[in-house]
Amino acid sequence: MLEASALNKWFGRFHALRDVNLAVPEGARIVICGPSGSGKSTLVRCINGLESFQGGTLRICGDQLTRDRRRLQAVRRQVGMVFQQFNLFPHLTVLANCTLALRRVLGRTGAEATEIARHYLDRVGIAQQAQKYPHQLSGGQQQRVAIARALCMKPKVMLFDEPTSSLDPEMVKEVLDVMTELADAGMTMLCVTHEMGFARAAADLVVFMDQGSIVEVAPPDTFFASPTQERTRAFLDKMIH
């Protein structure tokens, strides 16, 4: 479903990604963790075409990501992304936020877009808020709207970039519950998060990054119980204790 091979990315002289290799089969649930500045968010932004990379290759659903605008847009339609900030349009209702891309990008009629949007708003448990505006919702509700909006495009891969980091602690669970339901339904997912409980419960593989490189990849049981790398053990000691 997704394959990164010898991926390299620089910001000026800063080497943000260093020969990153990662293969994600269809239906896999991958959690990416690591300290701040380790390249986690940069990696998922490269996958979504929001950042360019200077070395290596990246394939999504068999198509290679290039700088050609048409090919880039075609590949990006296969990928949904949920950010740290909700990025909802404040002047549009919840329903209008979810139907906008359906109408303008996919050419759906208003009735078709509304039916699709209501389906996914119901799926994330927020259909009753369809006519409200973002400022009338809690942070957790806004993030669920952002997830529904991404799902409306029926992506083959979902990317989450620290989706709970901007939420109050009591709102984190409602978003993680939605993500767990998506994972259980077979959605291919890559999630950058510090929520180790979610990693234990929902991930097939945990990827640990540091200084732009992938240090360790393991199933959750192995990752948490017996990591092979000293750097991984030091990170877990700080995160769990």
15: phi then psi, degrees, rounded to nearest 5: -90, 95
**Percentage of residues in the chain having pLDDT higher than 70:** 100
Residues 168 and 67 in one domain: yes
The CATH number for 193's domain is 3.40.50.300
Among 154, 182, 201, give the residue marking a domain's end.
154
Residue 197 and residue 216 share a domain:
yes
185 and 232 belong to one structural domain: yes
Cα separation, 161 vs 32, whole angstroms: 9
**Which among 154, 175, 202 is the end of a domain?**
154
Say whether pLDDT at 10 is over 80: yes
The model's confidence at residue 241, banded by pLDDT at 50, 70 and 90, is low
Quick check: 86 and 145 in contact, CB under 8 A?
Answer: yes
Per-residue burial over 21-48, b if 16 or more Cβ lie within 10 Å, else e, is ebebeeebbbbbbbbeebbbbbbbbbbb
Q: Are residues 108 and 139 in the same domain?
A: yes
pLDDT at 200 over 80: yes
Residues 161 and 236 in one domain: yes
The verdict on 25 and 74 lying in the same domain is: yes
- Examine the domain organization and report whether 165 and 149 are in the same domain: no
> How many residues appear in the chain?
241
What's the number of domains the chain is made of? 2
The answer on pLDDT for 174 being more than 80 is: yes
Domain around 28: 2-78+157-240
166 — pLDDT class (breaks 50, 70, 90): confident
What Å distances lie between residue 140 and 125, 134, 148, 177, CA to CA? Answer: 11, 11, 12, 11
Task: For residues 176 and 70, state if they share a domain.
Answer: yes
| DSSP secondary structure code for residue 88 in this structure | -
Mean pLDDT, rounded, for 60-72: 82
Tell me what percent of the chain is helix, strand and coil, each rounded to the nearest 5: 40, 25, 35
Predicted TM-score of the model (pTM): 0.91
